[in-house]
Amino acid sequence: MTNTIIAFIDRFDTFGYVIIGVNILLLIFARQILKQVYHNPEKVLNFSRKVMIFRALNLLIMLAYGYFRFFQGDKGLETKSLGFNILAVLAIVYFAYLAMHLAHAFLVRQYGKEREIQGKKRYTSTYQTRLLSIFSSVFIGIIALLSIIRLLGFDSVLEAGGVIGIIGVFLALTSSIWAPDIFHGLIILNSDMFSEGDVIQFNDGEQIYGLVYKTKVFHTVILNIVNNHRIMIRNSKLRDFTVHNLSKFASAKGLRENLRFKIGYDVPADDVQDLFETVYELAKTDSSIEIEEQYELEYGVYDTGDHAVEWVFYYYTKEVEKLMLTRQRLLQLMLETSIEKGISLSTPFTHTAQTQIEKTNESIS
């Protein structure tokens, strides 16, 4: 038995030790590695299944190598059957894909920005990290491609050049699909107009308030803070929108928001002032309303319409992720206080012109 085990181990060469050792380490630390690849693994769909697939591929590579080394012998490795070639190509693609993700995670950790997103600190991509990631991915991809070409038996320069030429033609024909999103993604990161963790506002058929969750190579993932779901938008399309970055304030006071109310001409300005001041004082005592209470209340007449005066109520906030909740709570306070003070917030109808016409007709008759 001992002699059999020794003979079994002796069949390993340096390459075999590397293959088996690396795959054993990847199999053991699969969960930790994938946690580095995915920023929030608890939010990744079927994360446990991804870990199992990751480990299954490592196990498959070890079993395949063991089969062709120990059961087929050196002849099995030399003849390189179709099954062995398929497994070898899959292994190369697998390791290249893993290397690209690990390189990206390393570059983001080394050169990215540390930001707090939804209460958690994480490193976010920058123009430099994305550019370095693209270069590293291209480099790894070229090495993997050349390895596959050599593995499949295209040894001559002409054969290898033909395979690379076919791939180049395919990339050239499809460049209009993927290239614009890569370049627009780099422009977004380089401009620093908005980055991961910022709250933005744009119109895509409807007004959307979203938190920039992740800017990827081809698209940007945005978390809709109103409906609490994710939106995926192509980088080229996102740059066509007029994007308002609510997280970048023009002053130290924070974001200057406003609420507008149409109140009838019969309501004195002093009563409107009392209404706004009462609501503002109540808002200061409400912990769910995120306003910068150290600043004085600002309000004024926004427009004088045919039926009512449009008043505007200003407030400052720095908690832009809770913008909608703050707005809803302020509107609720305004409604409740206006009812208590007997001030209607509904737009009144004007009947003055119609009444004058009726009086004129009566005098004529």
| Residue range 91-107, pLDDT digits in tens | 778 778 778 877 877 78
- Distance (Å, rounded) from C-alpha 132 to C-alpha 149? 26
3-state helix, strand, coil in the chain (%, to 5): 60, 15, 25
* pLDDT tens string 197-248: 889 999 888 888 889 888 887 888 898 888 888 889 988 888 888 888 888 8
Number of domains composing the chain: 2
- Dihedral sign for Cα 193, 196, 201, 204, please: positive
Query: Does 219 share its domain with 262?
Result: no
Q: Is 202 helix (H, G, I), strand (E, B) or coil?
A: strand
**Do 298 and 283 share a structural domain?**
yes
Residues 174 and 195 placed together within one structural domain of the fold: yes
Do 171 and 222 belong to one domain?
yes
11 within domain boundaries: no
- Same domain for 314 and 281? yes
Phi first, then psi: give them for residue 196, nearest 5 degrees: -60, 130
Domain span including residue 261: 255-341
pTM for the whole structure: 0.59
Mean pLDDT, rounded, of the chain: 77
296/317 same-domain check: yes
Please report, for the domain that includes residue 268, its CATH number: 3.30.70.100
DSSP annotation of 266:
T
In the predicted structure, residue 280 carries a pLDDT above the cut 90:
yes
Domain final residue pick, 248, 275, 310: 248
Both 208 and 241 in one domain: the answer is yes
Residue 221 sits in the same domain as residue 267: no
One domain for residues 164 and 244: yes
Pick the last residue of a domain from 248, 263, 285: 248
Classify residue 110: in a domain, yes or no.
Answer: no
Q: What is the CATH number of the domain that holds 233?
A: 2.30.30.520
Q: How much is the pLDDT for 82?
A: 61
Q: Are residues 243 and 159 in the same domain?
A: yes
For CA atoms 107, 118, 188, 142, give the dihedral sign: positive
Q: Is residue 141 part of a domain?
A: no
State mean pLDDT over 149-159: 64
Select from 219, 248, 277 the last residue of a domain: 248
Is 62 part of a structural domain of the chain? no
In a domain, 204, yes or no: yes
Q: Is residue 175 part of a domain?
A: yes
φ and ψ at residue 11, rounded to 5 degrees: -75, -15
Q: Residue 140 domain-assigned?
A: no
Residues 168 and 228 in one domain: yes
Are 216 and 198 in contact by the 8 Å Cβ rule? The answer is: no
Instruction: With CA atoms as reference, report the closest residue to 270 among 246, 290, 299.
Output: 299
Residue 195: how many other CB atoms lie within 10 Å? 20
Segment 51-76, tens digit of pLDDT: 777 777 777 777 766 666 665 555 55
Distance CA 350, CA 348 (A): 7
228, 260: one domain: no
- Domain-located, residue 296: yes
DSSP 263: E
DSSP 291-311: --TTSPPEEEEEEE-SS-EEE
